[in-house]
Amino acid sequence: MQLIDGKALANRIHEKVGKEVDELKQVRNIVPGLAVILVGDDPASHAYVKMKAKACEKVGFYSITHSMPDTISQDEIIATIEMMNNNPRIDGILVQLPLPRHIDANRILEVIDPRKDVDGFHPFNVGKLTAGLDGFVPCTPLGVMHMLEAYGIDPKGMDVCVVGASNIVGKPMASLLLNANATVTITHIFTKDLKAHTSKADMVIVGVGVPGLIKEDMVKEGAIVIDIGINRLESGALVGDVDFANVSKKCSYITPVPGGVGPMTIAMLLDNTLKSAKKR
C-alpha cells in the first residue's frame, strides 16, 4: 500500500505558482487577484477562507475577503459580485458555500463572470468540462486528477466508482474521469446496494461526508481509494469517509485524511487564479 501525499504535492504546486507569479509581476506588471465572498458565521467556512487567504499571501497574490452577515440580501451579494466582475485587479471570484437558506446559490454563481469563475461552478464552465473543452474545473476533482498523474496512475480503461453526486465534487469528478477514458459509475444516497458497485471497482473515489462509510469488505484487493471526505468527530479527530485503518490493508494506493485531497483543493484554486491572470 502506498500513501498518496497530497500535502507534499500541494507544496510543490505552491512553489511553482509562486515562481510564475514573480515572473508575471516582472514581465507584465500583473499581480493575480482573488476575491472571496463569505456570508455568515459558519466556523468551517471561516476556517477554509482563512486558509485560502494564507495560501494567497504565500504565493504573492492580491486577495480580499468580503465578509457579510447572514442577514444580507441576495441583491446585495449580486451587486458585490458585479463590482468584482468589473474590477481589473480581480482575476478570480469565489463564493464560499454553503450560503444561508434565503439565498439562491445557483443564481449567485451564475452572476460570476465565467472568465473569473476559478471554482468552476458556473454553468458555462460546467458545460465546457462536460464537452472536454478548456475552462475552469472545480478545484477538488481537479486536485484528484493531479494526484493521480503525479503518482503515475492512468484512469484509462479503469472501472471507477464515484461515491457522491454533488455538483461540487461527484459530477465534475465523473466528467474528468470520462474525459480520461475511464468507465465511470456514479453512486449516491439513493443507490440500492453501494457495496455491489464499490467492490468491483479498480478505483473508488468517495466524498459524501459520512465518517467510515467505505469498509474493508467494500473494496477489492489492490484497489485505489481516494478519500475526499473530511469529518470532525466528537473527539475532535479529523477523519475521512473511508475506514482507513482497515481499508488501507487492501489498497495499492490510498489518500490519508488529513493530508490527502484537502491541501490539493487550495493548490488548484491558486493554479486556476493564476491561469485567469495570465489571460488578463
Catalytic residue among 91, 116, 117, 119: 119
- pLDDT on residue 213: 97
Catalytic site includes residue 119: yes
**HSE (CB half, 13 Å, CA atoms) of 210?**
9
- Cα gap 179→199, rounded to integer Å: 23
pLDDT at 263 over 90: yes
- Average pLDDT taken over every residue of the chain: 96
Question: Over 90: is that where the pLDDT of 8 sits?
Answer: yes
Give me the catalytic one of 91, 96, 116, 171: 96
User: What's the pLDDT tens digit per position in 148-199?
Assistant: 999 999 999 999 999 999 999 999 999 999 999 999 999 999 999 999 999 9
For residue 223, give the 3-state DSSP assignment: coil
- Residue 43: pLDDT band (50, 70, 90) is confident
Question: What is the per-residue pLDDT for 121?
Answer: 97
pLDDT digits (tens, 9 = 90+) for 193-229: 999 999 999 999 999 999 999 999 999 999 999 999 9
Where residue 65 falls among pLDDT bands split at 50, 70, 90? very high
Is 75 among the residues known to form the active site?
no
Distance between start and end Cα atoms, the chain: 44
| Percentage of the residues of the chain whose pLDDT score is greater than 70 | 100
Strands (E), the chain: 2-3, 33-39, 62-68, 92-95, 159-163, 183-187, 203-206, 224-227, 231-232, 238-239, 253-254
**Cβ burial 209-221 (10 Å sphere, 16+ → b, else e):** eebbbbeeebbee
Cell numbers for 209: 461526508
Residue 119 near residue 94 (C-beta atoms within 8 A): yes
The domains of the chain, with CATH numbers, are 29-115 (3.40.50.10860), 139-262 (3.40.50.720)
pLDDT category at 249 given cuts 50, 70, 90 is very high
Give residue 53's pLDDT: 95
The answer to whether 183 and 155 have CB atoms below 8 angstroms apart is no
Q: pLDDT confidence of 236, banded at 50, 70, 90?
A: confident
* pTM, entire model: 0.95
Model confidence at 44, pLDDT cuts 50, 70, 90, reads confident
